[in-house]
Structure 1
Amino acid sequence: MTRPLRIDVPGGIAHVTARGNNRLAIFHRAEQRHRLLAILQRVVARYGWLCHAYVVMDNHYHLLVETPMPNLSLGMRHLNGLYGQWFNHRHDRSGHVFGGRFKSLAVERDEHFLEAARYIVLNPLRTARPRRFTDWRWSSYPATAGLVACPPSLTIEGVLGSFDSDLTVARRRYVDFVADGIATSLDTRLVGEIYLGDDDFIRDLMPGVPIAEIPRTQWQPLRPNLEMLLAERDGLLAAYRTYGYRLREIAAHLGVSPATVSRALARLEQTAAHTRDGHSPREACRREGRMH
């Protein structure tokens, strides 16, 4: 059996999950969820993390964290260790609270960041409750969408800044982006260590380790590239809303300004996600540029 590769890199972004031992429901009460999030706040402050998204379910949790210093493993030991001690003391029990080490998924910053953030907040849909993921209090979605105040442990600028510099516009587009992902979010199976990125990304993370030595099951291929997406009539909206490409990436590919792409997207959104007048994404952006 291949031993999972562990990654602690400065400036890395990781999708982290931890489960109760034998799938024990260790977060099924509000008190328990409050305690975990309180400890997370302390860990974020102590280790200088940026927490971009989170969700706490009955028997597991997910985090999307950025680590300016290479201290992911250290911080996770602190988080799970403190919670485990509290849980055992609170319930007069002993033994393991979490089922082994945490699982981590290294996320390529410009390729899968938004996809991972969306997957995390949609996690409640994979349970019997609630009927709407927006009803789940124990995720970062309400704060990121502007429905509640932002807790100190959460950094919303990274996610919202990927959509627009205007907070109101960014939040509207974030809400649409998350809703669009209900049928297209990432696979739920995490086995060992998984990498979201291409060969170059993995080589940067693991210098000196040949790609052939990293099991294929431990990393995922990139989303469709822009050349493929923008060849389709609805490709502009798909690239931005479904696959999380940033305005500047689309603009650079099409040879126009990010503002032009933003205007084109706004028009497409107003016409039920169809390229207006039947033009291709490239032509739609060029026509939009000529109008301003």
Structure 2
Amino acid sequence: MARPLRIEYPGAIYHITQRGNNKCDIYVNSLDRLTFLFFLSLTIETYHWLCHAYCLMNNHYHLLIETPEGNLSDGMQHLNSVYAQAHNKKHNRVGHLFQGRYKSFLIEKEFYLLEVARYIVLNPVRAKLVRHPKNWVWSSYRLTAGIDDPVWFLTTDWILEKFSSNSRVAQAMYEEFVHDGIKADSPFQYASNEGILGSQQFVHFIRDEIDDGGQVEEISQAEKKRGRLSLEDIFTKEVLSEKKRKEEAIMLARILNGYRLKQIADHLGLHYSTVSKILNKNEKSGNSRSDPQ
């Protein structure tokens, strides 16, 4: 299995988990949980994050974080560091509070954010700590459902607007949606080995765009000097005027000249998923001709 990558770019969304060292509790009492939420709120403010959901269990926590500035690692290092220091000082303990680095899945917003948000707030139910998510006060469920007054560091607009423009109706539909998920399968069974949860096009796009360090990269000057055909040379006016020739040119740009999906899509003014579908269609067509069943 491939090792999960640290993929960071502006606008990326993550499901994050962090566990206690040797499975120890990271919250001893309610004050510890309030302290963590305080540091989480400061981290959200400092790093300009959006928090769509959270759940504080006993020996681990879950976060659903959107990073407009692509700075997850910096923010997580800060959050875990300041909380661990405060926790150790308060409880007169030494050593690591957390078990290694946090784990994260990159989430495609439109396809899986709702599913992951539901998965997070249902953790206490799956762990048989409570029978209903509203009975666990240390998650974002009660805030999103309108049971408790909102807090500034939790972003509920995106989730609720997926149900209704009327806040009361949206909150009721959200409660029903979460309840329907109690017996649902984990969405993470559909994640890629690299830790990407999204459509086939999204996974294809991310795999195509990341460098070895997990950063979405732009075309470099060195790449431009490798002698490959330019996109202008590949996509001439004559080629663009015919659908079949255009699709063949996309294959040429991707497979023989090594252009990334985003580079091709941007040049043609298309969404990356459109380019991915064309590639997949032509690859399947080629396979069916050469290897009939």
Q: Indicate the TM-score class for this superposition, using the shorter chain for normalisation.
A: 0.5 to 0.7
User: Match for 2:109: what amino acid?
Assistant: R
Aligned to 1:194: 195
Mapped partners of 1:72, 1:136: distance in 2: 27
Contact map agreement 1:56 1:138 (CA 8 A) in 2 = yes
Alpha-carbon distance in structure 1 between the residues aligned to 2:156 and 2:150: 8
8 Å contact 1:112–1:196 — kept in the other structure?
yes
Distance in 1, matches of 2:158 and 2:74, equals 23
Match of 1:130 in 2: 130
Please state how far the C-alpha of 1:191 moved relative to its aligned partner: 10
Relative distance call for 1:167 and 1:52 in structure 2 (3 A) is: same
Output the CA distance in 1 between the equivalents of 2:151 and 2:89: 26
| Structure 1 contact 18–62 (Cα < 8 Å) conserved | yes
Runs (5+) with no aligned partner, structure 2? 212-293
CA pair 187-11 structure 1, distance change in 2 beyond 3 A: closer
- Equivalence map 1:185-224=2 (5 Å): 185-186=185-186, 194-208=195-209
Q: Which amino acid aligns with 2:156?
A: I
* 2:160 maps to 1:160: yes
> How much has 1:193 moved relative to structure 2?
5.1
Q: CA 1:192/1:47 → structure 2, altered by over 3 Å: closer, same or farther? A: farther
Report the Cα offset of residue 198 of structure 1: 2.6
Q: Does residue 77 of structure 2 align to residue 74 of structure 1?
A: no
User: What is the letter of the counterpart of residue 11 of structure 1?
Assistant: G
**Equivalent residues of 1:12, 1:68 under 8 A apart:** yes
Deviation (angstroms), 1:93: 1.5
1:132 Cα offset (Å)? 2.2
Superposed, 1:240-255 pairs within 5 Å as: none
Q: What is the letter of the counterpart of residue 146 of structure 1?
A: G
C-alpha RMSD of matched pairs (Å): 2.1
Count of matched residue positions in the alignment of Structure 1 and Structure 2 = 210
Is this contact kept in 2: 1:160–1:167, CA < 8 A? yes
- Output the amino acid matched with 2:14: A
Residue identity opposite 1:44 in structure 2: I
Structure number with greater Rg is 2
What is the DSSP-based 3-state SS (H/G/I as helix, E as strand, rest coil) of the residue aligned with 2:5?
A: coil
Which shifted more, 145-154 or 178-187?
178-187
Write the letter of the residue equivalent to 1:205: I
Deviates most, 20-29 or 180-189: 180-189
Distance 2:168 2:147 in 1: 12
Structure 1: segments with no counterpart, 5+ residues: 211-292
User: Which amino acid is 1:48 matched to?
Assistant: H
Q: Is the 8 A contact 2:116 2:187 kept in 1?
A: no
Residue 152 of structure 1 deviates from its aligned partner by 1.7
Deviation at 1:4, TM superposition (A): 2.2
Measure the CA separation in 1 of the matches of 2:58 and 2:43. 21
Name the TM-score, length of structure 2 as normaliser. 0.68
Structure showing greater relative contact order (alpha-carbon pairs closer than 8 Å, 6 or more residues apart):
2
1:53 counterpart letter in structure 2: A
Judged with a 3 Å threshold, the aligned counterparts in structure 2 of structure 1 residues 193 and 18 are, in CA distance, closer, same or farther, namely: farther
Q: Structure 1 length normalisation: TM-score?
A: 0.68
Give the C-alpha shift of residue 178 in structure 1: 0.3
The Cα of 1:87 is off from its aligned counterpart by 1.1
Amino acid of the structure 1 residue aligned with 2:24: L
**Mapped contact 1:134–1:141 kept (Cα < 8 A):** yes
Matched to 2:83, the amino acid is Y
Q: Kindly indicate whether residue 25 of structure 2 is the aligned counterpart of residue 21 of structure 1.
A: no
Q: Specify whether residues 209 and 70 from structure 1 end up closer, same or farther in structure 2 by C-alpha distance, changes over 3 A only.
A: closer
- Please list, as runs of the form range in 1=range in 2, the aligned pairs for 1:1-292 lying within 5 A after superposition: 2-186=2-186, 194-208=195-209
Runs of 4+ in structure 1 deviating by more than 6 angstroms, as ranges, are: 188-192
Change in CA separation of 1:37 and 1:123 when aligned onto 2, cut-off 3 Å? same
Summarize the Cα distance change of 1:30–1:192 in structure 2 as closer, same or farther, 3 Å threshold: farther
Cα distance, 1:181 vs. partner? 0.3
- Verify the 8 A CA contact 1:115 1:185 in the aligned structure 2: no
Q: Please give the alpha-carbon distance, in whole angstroms, between the structure 2 residues aligned to 1:102 and 1:174.
A: 28
Identity %: 45
How has the CA–CA distance of structure 1 residues 47 and 69 changed in structure 2, closer, same or farther, with 3 Å as cutoff?
Answer: same
Query: Cα distance, 1:151 vs. partner?
Result: 1.4
Moved more, 105-114 or 121-130: 121-130
What one-letter code is carried by the residue in structure 1 that aligns with 2:80?
Answer: N
Instruction: Give the whole-Å Cα distance in 1 for the aligned partners of 2:111 and 2:187.
Output: 16
CA distance in 2, matches of 1:198, 1:130: 33
- SS of equivalent to 1:52: strand
For the residues of structure 2 that align with 1:124 and 1:193, how far apart are their CA atoms? 27
Describe the SS at the equivalent of 2:177: helix
Question: Distance between the aligned counterparts of 2:170 and 2:138, measured in 1?
Answer: 22
